[in-house]
Amino acid sequence: MKKLLPLLALAGTLFAAGKIVGGPFTVNVGAKNATVVWIVQTDELLLHPPTGVEGRSSPSFHVEKTTLTGLQPGTHYDYELPGWPGVKGSFRTAASAAMPYQFLVYGDTRTRHDVHRKVVEAILKDGVPDFAVQSGDLVENGEDNSLWPIYFDIEKNLLSQTAFFPVLGNHERNSHDFYEFFQPTTPYYSFDWGNAHFMVINSDIANSAGNKGARDAFWAEQTKWLEEELQGSQKVEYRIVVAHHPPFSAVSNRQGSNPEMRALVPMFEKYRVSIAFFGHDHNYQRNLQNGINYVISGGGGAPLYDVNKPDAATSQKAISVENFVKVSVNGKVMKVTAKGIDGKILDEFEVKH
């Protein structure tokens, strides 16, 4: 079922001299609500460094948004911005518990823009998902305004057609822009889709606060929140955790570098997490421990890392290749398929309920 939503053209009249450099795209999507965001470049600053150093530009942004309520679950909506001819998009609201759905996991798109573009093209060729989860490191430096228009230009055809749920990576640097663009109210959040409860963690502790005491307090607060979320979702079919930093790694110099995330594994097991997704390592990996699959999809464009030391006790697959993951859910059947940008299947498995 499709429905058309005309959005107010406030930006079209107020910023007629500007241009849209991001979006429109849809965030904070639920069964009956959604927020549509579009980013207008209103001006530009040219920085002239000392002699001999190339100058660079830094755009000025204005973020427009509108929140839609009273929507129907599992329904496809089209929308347009009348003040910007030809600017339009679509999204699907969250499915009800009985509905089948499909989602995407990918991440670490921050560099090698030509490769990032190929990843997005491969995703679209494979079919537009109901929603997309980005595992972090969208850009090289979240505080550099010049990088965001590049990111949104590459992602435009994907983000204009699906709901988007991003994760804070270390390269976002907990930047103000991330919160402005994607509208999370906190660095970590949860959402429901169909018969699943998703918990999105901010594993970038280093950028969470300015001193160790505050960082420790942040992690304690988030860990408490996570446990409460897990406790409260025990009657839900699937409990899915997403973060940027993985607790397991087949990259030798990454092993042992995320002790806080590794320390969460007993909690995941206690509360029967169904599956967990991560980025940070620029490759595809799947580790399996005590019935929980830990999937890393960090092959979105950043330079690839070798998988030179997989753990024989947990590693199911480890391959240094650009990739994305599609997950199809139909009742008690969850099928996970990892693909390379050539369309070939890298890994495929089912999550047993």
The pLDDT-based confidence of 304 (bands split at 50, 70, 90) is very high
Burial degree of 200 (CB within 10 A; 0-12, 13-18, 19+): buried
- Three-state SS for 276? strand
Strand ranges for 194-332 from DSSP E: 196-200, 238-242, 275-278, 284-289, 292-297, 315-319, 323-330
Tens-place pLDDT, residues 32-52: 999 999 999 999 998 888 876
What number is the average pLDDT over the span 91-97?
A: 96
Residue 247 has pLDDT above 50, yes or no: yes
Q: Which residue has the tokens 């699907």?
A: 92
- Three-state SS for 345? strand
Start-end ranges of CATH 3.60.21.10 in the chain? Answer: 96-352
CB 156 within 8 A of CB 39: no
What number is the average pLDDT over the span 93-122?
A: 97
The pLDDT-based confidence of 253 (bands split at 50, 70, 90) is confident
Give pLDDT, residue 12. Answer: 40
What's the CA gap between 81 and 7, in Å, rounded? 5
What number is the average pLDDT over the span 319-348?
A: 97
Tens-place pLDDT, residues 138-197: 999 999 999 999 999 999 999 999 999 999 999 999 999 999 999 999 999 999 999 999
DSSP structure string for 116-145 = HHHHHHHHHHH---SEEEE-S--SS-TT-T
The pLDDT-based confidence of 14 (bands split at 50, 70, 90) is very low
CB 137 within 8 A of CB 108: yes
Class of domain 96-352: alpha beta
Start-end ranges of CATH 2.60.40 in the chain? Answer: 1-94
DSSP structural state of residue 314? T
Mean pLDDT across the chain: 93
Least confident of 52-61, 76-85, 98-107: 52-61
Single out the residue of 328, 330, 335 nearest to residue 350, CA to CA: 335
Burial degree of 46 (CB within 10 A; 0-12, 13-18, 19+): exposed
CB 29 within 8 A of CB 40: no
Reported as half-sphere exposure (CB side, CA atoms, 13 A), residue 305 has a value of 25
- Kindly state the percentage of the chain with pLDDT values over 90: 88
Give pLDDT, residue 11. Answer: 39
Give pLDDT, residue 1. Answer: 53
Angle at 166 between CA 185 and CA 265, to 5 degrees: 95
The pLDDT-based confidence of 18 (bands split at 50, 70, 90) is confident
**Topology of the domain covering 1-94:** Immunoglobulin-like (2.60.40)
pTM: 0.93
The pLDDT-based confidence of 8 (bands split at 50, 70, 90) is very low
